[in-house]
């Protein structure tokens, strides 16, 4: 199923930032936007900004709007520091509850590791992942640790090997298999900048339960539309098919980074949806 990441404040018709206004200029009001996306073949919406500091009601209302609009709601979550399953953050509760519905498969939600510059980032990420995962599964969801850009100030998990190491360590503690998010744009950026191999090994690939799709722009920034042509999309899709991947193909695009008018950016969004649809069909 094709998915698109959208900000919660667009879906709730808030008007307080340039990003929200740009999505509205591109898609129209949320109800019209969801209808237009469905007509293009998009079946799920990932609310991409579920964080502890976000307004709980806005997150819940955004996910509810997706379901009312006839699409499957999804969420990009965060890894709370020293997560306590007896006192989970209110925003996390609201998001996970909104994902659960009769007949839905457990939602594999992308999660970033803790910041690399924090003390013992590896151990802290493993610790909190082990605390969070059982709570998520009890509430109809699951984590999918994301491979990010390999930067000194970025999240731990900037290479295939780092993500696999964290998840393997957590699996040993939990006694259960965990998933990972393969972010195709991040790994292409890593390869272009000499930080990691382009193609993942079997240890990473066999754990993929969620996929983020975007390209790398000429300036080196990520989350560009797929017509940039730097992400080897057909090859990535082929490898995922080889391991039987059946999750969402989630376009995670940031049009505020692209040049052009709202109409031009909308055209590039539509082109990206069509390119991804063709690649995975």
> Residue ranges per domain, the chain?
2-280
Q: 3-state DSSP: the chain helix, strand, coil percent, rounded to 5?
A: 45, 15, 40
What are the C-alpha distances in Å from 174 to residues 10, 126, 128, 132, 157?
37, 11, 12, 11, 19
Query: Looking at residue 55, what is its pLDDT?
Result: 87
Query: Looking at residue 116, what is its pLDDT?
Result: 87
The sign of the dihedral angle between the CA atoms of 190, 193, 195, 199 is positive
Query: Looking at residue 168, what is its pLDDT?
Result: 98
Query: Looking at residue 164, what is its pLDDT?
Result: 98
E strand map for 40-171: 42-47, 72-75, 107-111, 141-146
Select from 253, 256, 250 the least CA-distant residue to 215: 253
Residue with tokens 């009769």: 102
Residue 13 main-chain phi, psi, to 5 deg: 65, 30
Residue 215 main-chain phi, psi, to 5 deg: -115, 175
107/93 Cα distance (integer angstroms): 14
Q: Which CATH class is domain 2-280?
A: alpha beta
Q: Please report how the helices 18-27 and 262-280 are oriented relative to each other, as an axis angle in degrees rounded to 10.
A: 70
Burial class (CB in 10 A: 0-12, 13-18, 19+), 219: exposed
Query: Looking at residue 105, what is its pLDDT?
Result: 75
Q: What is the largest CA-CA distance in the chain?
A: 51
Q: How many CB atoms lie within 10 A of CB 99?
A: 23
Angle formed at CA 170 by CA 169 and CA 175, multiple of 5 degrees:
105
146/155 Cα distance (integer angstroms): 9
| Positions in the chain whose pLDDT score sits under 70 | 15, 102
Query: Looking at residue 86, what is its pLDDT?
Result: 95
The sign of the dihedral angle between the CA atoms of 236, 241, 244, 250 is positive
Query: Looking at residue 118, what is its pLDDT?
Result: 79
The dihedral over CA atoms of 169, 246, 94, 82, expressed in degrees to the nearest 10, equals 10
């Amino acid at each position: 199923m094709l998915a698109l990441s959208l900000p919660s404040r667009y879906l709730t018709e808030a008007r307080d930032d340039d990003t929200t206004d740009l999505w509205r200029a591109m898609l129209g009001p949320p109800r019209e936007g969801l209808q237009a996306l469905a007509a293009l073949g998009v079946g799920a919406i990932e609310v991409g900004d579920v964080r502890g500091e976000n307004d709980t009601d806005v997150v819940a209302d955004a996910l509810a709007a997706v379901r009312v609009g006839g699409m499957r709601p999804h969420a990009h979550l965060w890894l709370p520091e020293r997560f306590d399953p007896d006192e989970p953050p209110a925003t996390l509760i609201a998001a996970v509850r909104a994902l659960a519905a009769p007949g839905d498969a457990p939602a594999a939600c992308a999660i970033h590791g803790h910041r690399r510059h924090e003390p013992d980032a590896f151990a802290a990420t493993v610790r909190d992942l082990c605390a969070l995962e059982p709570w998520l599964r009890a509430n109809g969801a699951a984590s999918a640790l994301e491979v990010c850009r390999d930067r000194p100030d970025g999240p731990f998990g900037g290479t295939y090997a780092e993500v696999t190491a964290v998840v393997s360590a957590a699996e040993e503690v939990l006694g259960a298999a965990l998933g990972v998010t393969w972010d195709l744009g991040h790994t292409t950026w890593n390869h272009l900048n000499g930080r990691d191999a382009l193609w993942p090994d079997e240890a990473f690939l066999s754990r993929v339960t969620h996929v983020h799709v975007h390209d790398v722009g000429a300036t080196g920034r990520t989350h560009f539309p797929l017509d940039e042509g730097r992400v080897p999309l057909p090859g990535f899709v082929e490898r995922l098919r080889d391991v039987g991947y059946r999750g969402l193909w989630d376009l995670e695009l940031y049009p505020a980074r692209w040049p052009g008018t709202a109409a031009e950016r909308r055209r590039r969004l539509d082109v990206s949806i069509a390119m991804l649809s063709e690649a995975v069909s």
